[in-house]
Structure 1
Amino acid sequence: MKARPMSDPVLSLTDAALSLMGNAGRVEILHGISLDVAEGETLGLVGPSGSGKSSLLMLMGGLEQASSGRVVALGQDLTAMSEDGLARFRRDNMGVVFQSFHLIPTMTALENVATPLELAGHKDAFARAAAELEAVGLGHRADHYPAQMSGGEQQRVALARASAPRPRILLADEPTGNLDETTGQAIIDLLFDLRDRHGATLIMVTHSNELARRCDRMIRLRDGRIDTTASAQAAAE
């Protein structure tokens, strides 16, 4: 899917910084990040452990509030929103996939996928949830609980849950980190397939340069700053 011109960003960060209070005092996590992401673009965030990749993804999703600067998503200033406002915005516009699956253990696969749809007021929540489970190859596991499924199956449920509301922005934080190589590759193929089917902008944190090269663009972070940015094709050369 071809990305739209960068003049119409879905996400825009301007001098965004993040600092958190730790036991030894305030810790500076991100420093002056400025970045635009176009609609339909796939962006890979790479860099060594502790470089700020996941923290940057959290800023983009409004899961962390910037200490300074601005984060604008779909024309909305996330830095000016309340926690309730951010939760509603994510519900209506974003899908998030974590390394840990974060499924509700007392709910079946179908119920886990349907829950965000019900919260958003969709009357066809269970029908849509069933369709998404079919799309990730788990229609036959709809009535199973997370403890009855493998790690790869649980991540498929998490992907279905994230994509079922048809989000315009899909965020993935090391989505294959807890999986073996073969299962992880299958999850990545599904993630890109969901992106293509729903036309979402995909932003993904990964330690794998090979995986990041499947994206339109790679952003490499180091010490909480953007170190380099390049098209995936240029990064592969």
Structure 2
Amino acid sequence: MTALSLSNVSLSLQGNAGPVDILHDITLDVADGETLGLIGPSGSGKSSLLMLMGGLEQASAGTIFAAGQDLTKMNEDQLARFRRDNMGVVFQSFHLIPTMTALENVATPLELAGVKDAFARAEQELTAVGLTDRIDHYPSQMSGGEQQRVALARASAPRPKILLADEPTGNLDATNGNAIMDLLFDLRDRHGATLVMVTHSHELARRCDRIVRLRDGQIDTTKAAA
């Protein structure tokens, strides 16, 4: 089974001097349960490709199927509902709500999805990332590593089919970064999700099943991780 399927996908954005081509003719399949590392130099289109996979950017051409659904035919509301029900997204910046506790940050998307035991499940996920003692703390009371753990718990709590991570360790030191990566792969294993991760770290990419390297908005190489 295929979790993600991109066919002849391109992305152009309007700049001050006219359209800017970001991605060109990307064709890529990601299998159910696979872990895929996206690498390449800055500006190669890694994050843009991840955003297309999550329906956070609209492709200029081509088709994108995720969990069997054609994202390119959905409007913004449909895409938002699809992400809520099928995807977890972890960003380099944590995007936590500052006026909510860790527990509330994780429980809120579950409540919006109509999950009856939202707070119990949120507490379970926070425990899984080692934050049992921090559930009542606000983001400003937590370190960067702790905030990213909350973001991981929030992304995994709905038990998504697909987990997308954009430089999840980019704002962290090496120790916290390694801990976050261990947790990310653990969450993937516990929920059986497909994981696609953008990273500049070849060491982290090698933990994936397969590595895709982008250059100048195109797939340069794809290979099994060492």
Same fold (TM over 0.5): yes
Equivalent residue, structure 1, for 2:80: 87
C-alpha separation in 1, matches of 2:135 and 2:203: 32
Matched letter for residue 189 of structure 1? D
Equivalent residue letter for 1:28: D
1:130 to 107, 111, 123: 123
CA distance in 1, matches of 2:2, 2:128: 29
Percent same amino acid at aligned positions? 81
Correspondence for 2:168: 175
Structure 1 residues 92-120: Cα deviation after superposition (integer angstroms, max 9, x where no partner): 00000000000000000000000110000
- The equivalent residue for 1:33 is 26
Q: Deviations over 1:112-161 (max 9, x none)?
A: 00011000000100000000000000011000000000000000000000
* Coordinate RMSD, CA, aligned: 0.4
Cα deviation digits, residues 56-107 of structure 1 (max 9, x gap): 0000000001000000011110000000000000000000000000000000
Tell me the equivalent position of 2:177: 184
Alignment of 1:16-31 (within 5 A): 16-31=9-24
Q: Which runs of 4+ in 1 moved over 4 A?
A: none
Q: TM-score, normalised by structure 2?
A: 1.00
1:63 alignment partner, SS class: coil
Asked whether 1:224 is paired with 2:200, we answer no
Aligned residues: 226
TM-score by length of 1: 0.95
Q: Is structure 2 residue 149 aligned with structure 1 residue 156?
A: yes
Q: Does 1:43 align with 2:42?
A: no
SS at match of 1:123: coil
Which amino acid in 2 is paired with 1:230?
K
C-alpha distance in 1 between matches for 2:148 and 2:69:
30
> Given the alignment, which residue of 55, 66, 83 partners 1:62?
55
* 1:144 has 2:137 as partner: yes
Distance 1:75 1:163 in 2: 20
